[in-house]
Every structure is written in structure tokens, then in C-alpha cells.
Amino acid sequence: MKGRFDLNNNTRRFLLTGLTIILLITGGMTVLKYLQPTQEQKEVPVYSFESTAGIDYQVFFSPNNFFPQQSAGPGQAYITPLTEYVEAHFNYLLTSDEPADIQGQYSATALLTGYVEKKQGEERIKVKAWEINNNVVPATPFSGQQDRLELSTAAPINIRHYTNFAETVAKEIRFSADVVELKVTYDIAGTVKTEQGETQLQAAPYMLIPIKGNSFMVEGVLEDKKEGSITEMQTVPIPGIEQTRLTWLIISCVMLILLVGTWVVTRGTTPDPLLRELASIFKKHGDRIVHVAEGLPGISKNLLLKVNSFENLVAVADEISQPILYEMVAEEIHNFYVIDDPLLYTYHPSPLLLEHDVSESIGSARKTDEVDF
């Protein structure tokens, strides 16, 4: 075939082997991707909602001769002896994309707890000593078939009542807790039902009020946001599988074209051993070889000594301190000489032309038993 490119046999073999391995890998990946299913069973939300439960508050003060202010909003510090009560506003909002059957109940409780502080390592921890629990808002049911549910209620938290209780406990049983806290929790619990199923509602924001001391700040988790959904098993496409299949198929086709193309348009060649040997000789000893352009004078066969390797010729040249002469007689006839008057040492790289008489290839082919320089 005309137009084929010559490549060293080893290079061509390495290239074809590499392309074959890559083709097998990409082909295997292509088959694997095409054996994978394009769809899968997955839980898919068919109904979703968002809910927010929160506690807002306003602190009201007892009439006094010092401050005309009757109340204060959130985020401040409050003087305990002047505080009459905290009005808590409990709010709940649920929104969804479609109506659902919503049922449940809400309530609010106030838990007063006395703690003893205990040192544990470098930290101080609170250990519960006593507690009392009061209902602030009794359990109240709610229901509706809608896509929006809004609940709101308010209740006063009598701070003076709880501070008096803590002081009475300390006085009558002679035990004063290190820390006294009032935790007011707004509990919402219920269910959301649709034709596809149901899910639970749950929220519990709370406010934390220190009772012992001359001042307090309201802390705690005043807002509880949640998201919920109802799911069902559906068969859905696997994202990206078709694109992945196509990508591996294209890569495999490209590798197949490269493999076939390399096989067709190239042919392997074996490096000429003569040229390879000459290249090695000139690479190692090029600085000590003298090229002869006009040829050498005739010499008798009796005075011509042939050596069987170039290294032997190098050894002779080193021994007698003479240069190595090089002559290219023909394209495949290359002669190397070392002159040791009257002897002439020579080496011929393979392949040798047996019919070629080296005594005729040097100089003028004069026949004599003596060296004529």
C-alpha cells in the first residue's frame, strides 16, 4: 500500500498495544453504562410545607416613683423587682402549595427550676434541685382543610409570682438555689394528611427567664422553623446517564478509529543493524575517529590484520597511540583502520560482503607484499 508511514517495529507495537488497551477500557465503560438502568425508584416529595413557631413578648412594670415607663419590648435588660409580668404572644404559621387535612393541638407550660452549681473540671455545671410545672395555655386543638394555618394566642407570665415562690422556698426550708430559671415552652404537635400519606408536625420554641437576681434578660429559642414533606416512591430518570453513555460511546469510537488508522497507515520496520552499530561507534568514539576522503594506498594481504570487534581496534589504537581511520567504500561497506607500520589493523562492521577484498578496497589495488605509503 502506497503512502504508509514507516515506524520502528517496537514503537508501532507499543502504540498499537496502548491504543488497544485504551479501547478495551473505554469499550468496557461504554458497555457498563449501557447496562445500567436509566431509571430508579426514589422517594419524591408530593406535598411539602414550611412552618414557623415563635414567641414574642412584652415586659410590664409595676407602678413606681422612679420610671414612668409602663412596659418594654424584647431585647432589653429588665429590673426584676419592678417587673409585674411578661405578656407572651405565641404564634404559629404553616404554609404549603396545596390544601391538606391539618390536625393537632398546642399548649404552653411554665417550668420553674432551681439549680445547684457544681464545679466539673474548669467549668461549672447546673444540677437540678427542684422544679414546679404550671400550665400557661391549656391544650387547645386545631384542625383545618387548607393550605395555610395560622394560630395566635397570648398569656401573661406572672414574674412576681415565681420570684415570690423561689424566695419562700429559700426562707421556709432554708435552701437557696444557686440559679433559678423559668422556662416557658410553646408546644405544637399534630399531623398533616393528604391522599398520598401523612407526616408529623412538631415545634417547641421556648423562652428562658432568670428569676433569681435583681435583673434579667429573656433568652432561649424564640423561633422554631421547620420544613416537612410527604413523599412517595416514584420511578424517575437517573440524572446525566444518557449524557454519560454518549460520552463513553464517542470516546470508544475515537479510540477505534485511531487504532484502525494506525494499523492501516503505518508499517513496521526493523532498524538496520549496520547503521545501528555505526551509530553506536560514532557516539562512543567519534572524537578519536578520522574520516578518510581519498582512500588508503594499496597494501598486501599478508600485512593486513583483521580484528573481530571495534573495541579490539580501539585497544590496538590505544596501545600504539595512533588514530582510528574511517573509510566508507560503498553504502554498506565501512572500514576502520589503525596503521602500525608496516601492519594495518582493520575492522569491518557487519554485514560483510564476502566477495569484497579489503586489499582491493583501499588505495589503488596494487599487488605487493610490502606496504607502499
215-252 per-position pLDDT tens digit: 999 999 999 999 999 888 888 888 888 899 999 999 99
This model's pTM is above 0.85: no
Take residue 275 and report the three cell numbers written for it: 547503521
Tell me what pLDDT residue 94 has.
Answer: 95
Rounded distance between C-alpha atoms, residue 340 and residue 321, angstroms = 9
Residue 365 has phi, psi (to 5 degrees) of 60, 30
Q: What's the rounded Cα separation, in Å, for the pair 258 and 276?
A: 30
Domain range summary for the chain, segments of one domain joined by +: 5-38+238-268, 45-236, 273-361
What string of H, E and C letters represents the secondary structure of the chain? CCCCEEEEHHHHHHHHHHHHHHHHHHHHHHHHHHHCCCEEEEEEEEEEEEEEEEEEEEEEECCCCCCCCCEECCCCCEEHHHEEEEEEEEEEEEEEEEEEEEEEEEEEEEEEEEEEEEEECCEEEEEEEEEEEEEEEEEEEEEEEEEEEEEEEEEEECHHHHHHHHHHHHHHCCCCCCEEEEEEEEEEEEEEEECCEEEEEEECCEEEEECCCCEECCEEECEEEEEEEEEEEEEEECCCHHHHHHHHHHHHHHHHHHHHHHHHHEEEECCCHHHHHHHHHHHHHHHHEEECCCCCCCCCHHHEEECCCHHHHHHHHHHHCCCEEEEEEECCEEEEEEEECCEEEEECCCCCCCCCCHHHHCCCCCCCCCCCC
Residue type, 7: L
The residue assigned the cell 399531623 is: 191
Q: What is the distance between the alpha carbons of residues 208 and 132, in angstroms, rounded to a whole number? A: 15
- Say what the pLDDT of residue 303 is: 78
pLDDT in the model for residue 151:
95
Question: Which positions ≥6 away from 55 have C-beta within 8 Å?
Answer: 88, 89, 90, 91, 184, 186, 205, 206, 207, 220, 222, 223
Distant-in-sequence, close-in-space partners of 234: CB < 8 Å, separation ≥ 6: 41, 42, 43, 44
- d(CA 190, CA 96) in angstroms, rounded, equals 15
For residue 5, the model assigns a pLDDT of: 79
Q: Write down the pLDDT at residue 2.
A: 59
Paired strand residues for 45: 231
The reported pLDDT for the residue numbered 77 is 94
Query: What was the pLDDT predicted at 122?
Result: 81
Look at residue 10 in the predicted model and tell me its pLDDT: 83
Beta bridge mates, 207: 184, 220
Query: Can you list the residues of the chain whose pLDDT is less than 50?
Result: 352-373
Q: If we measure between CA atoms, which residue out of 93, 333, 334, 101 comes closest to residue 225? A: 93
- Say what the pLDDT of residue 88 is: 96
Neighbours of 49 (CB within 10 A): 22
- Return the bridge partners of 85, or none: 60
